[in-house]
Amino acid sequence: MLHAIIMAGGSGTRFWPRSRRHRPKQLLRLAGESTMLQQTVARVEHLVPPDRVFIITGEDQAEATREQLPELPARNIVAEPAPRDTAPCVALAAALVAARDPEGTMIVMPADHVIEPVDAFRTSLRVATEVVDADPSALVTFGITPNRPETGYGYIERGDLVETRQGVRAYRVRQFREKPDRPTAERFLAAGTFLWNSGIFVWRAATILEAIAEYRPALAAAFEPIRRALGTPDESRVLAEHFPQLERVPIDRAVMEHAPNIRVLEVPYNWNDVGDWRALATLVDRDTDGNAIQGHVVARDTRDSILISDDDGIVATLGVDDLVVVHSGKATLVARKDRLDDLKALVEALASAGYGAHL
C-alpha cells in the first residue's frame, strides 16, 4: 500500500519574524489560503488516505501540526526528539511504515515546498509508484527541469533513459551535485542534463531501510533499538534516548549518492522550495514598481521591495528600494534584499541580545 511521509521539521529562521520557533515556515500561510503543510497534505489526498499519511515534525511544532491537520490520526504525527537531518527522519518513517505494511511503498516529501500544477505532481507520483511496483529495489527521486541558473538548489545529472511512463521519463543518475556557484549553474543549465534536486522520493520502506543498512551501517545500527521499540510501551522512552544520538546526515549523502538503483523522474512542474523572503516574492504578483506585497501595505516611491504585514498590521514605506520589510506581531524586520543570507545571523544576534521571546 502507498503511504505518504511529510517531513515537517525546520526552525523557521529564514522567515523571521513571521516564522517563529513554534511556528516555522511550513505552519504559515506564506502563499495562499492554507498553510504550506496543509497544501502538502492536500497534494496527496487523492492518492493516500489520511490514516496512511504521516507527519514527522519537531516537538516544538507537534501541537500546532495536529491542530492544522485534524483529519489525520493523532498517532500519525510523530515528533522527533531532536532534529537530525533527513536520513534519521527517513529511517524513522520507513520503520513506521514497515511495521504496519512490510511491503509498503512510501512517498517522502518536505512540508515547505510550493508545487504547481498539482495534477502534474500527482501524475509523477503515480509513475514513481509504478516504477517501484515494477522494480521493488528502485529508489525514485524527482528532478525538476531548471529554467534559470539557480545557485540555491542542489542538482542531479541524469544518465541513461530507462523508460517512459505516462509521458514521464525515468533516468538513471550520473551524479548528485551540491549547490553550484554561478558559472557552474550556468553550465548545468546549458548542458540540459542537470535537474534540480527536489528532495522528494518514492521507495519501498523495506528497500530504503536495507539501503541505509548497506551504505550507512553505523546509522542503521544506532537506529535499530528504535525500530525494535516501535509499537511497544517503550517507544517514547527509547526514541527520546536514542534518536538524538543518531548521526546528523541528509538521506542524499547517506544513501542516494551511493546506491546503484536510483531513478530520477524528470518532471515539468513549477517547484519552489521557498527558501526565504525572496523566493516567496516570486510567488506573489508584483505591483508596477516591482514590489511584492502581502497584507496591508502602502508603498510610496518604493521600488523592487518585498513588503509584508500580518493580517491586522500595516506597513507604510516612503522612498526606499530593494528592501525586505516584514511587520509581524510585535516584531519588524527591515533588511536589504541582497543581505537576506545573513538573516540567520541576525536572528542569532536577537537571541544573544535577550530577545528570545520574539524568536
Positions touching a second copy (CB under 8 A) are 16-17, 296, 298, 300-301, 309, 312-320, 323, 325, 327, 330-336, 338-340, 342-343, 345-346, 349-350, 353, 355, 358
Q: How far is CA 144 from CA 10, 141, 194, 199, 268, in A?
A: 23, 10, 9, 10, 6
119/348 with CB nearer a second copy: 348
CB of 351 to a second copy, least distance (A): 10
Grid cell listed for 337: 534584499
CB of 349 to a second copy, least distance (A): 5
Closest CA to 16 of 317, 311, 308: 308
Q: How far is CA 250 from CA 216, 256, 257, in A?
A: 11, 9, 11
Q: How far apart are CA 333 and CA 323, in angstroms?
A: 10
213/335 with CB nearer a second copy: 335
221/314 with CB nearer a second copy: 314
CB of 16 to a second copy, least distance (A): 8
CB of 312 to a second copy, least distance (A): 6
76 in Cβ contact with 54 (< 8 Å): yes
Closest CA to 31 of 112, 109, 144: 112
CB of 172 to a second copy, least distance (A): 44
* Contacting residues for 251 by C-beta, under 8 A, at least 6 apart: 86, 87, 89, 90, 108, 201
57/305 with CB nearer a second copy: 305
26/317 with CB nearer a second copy: 317
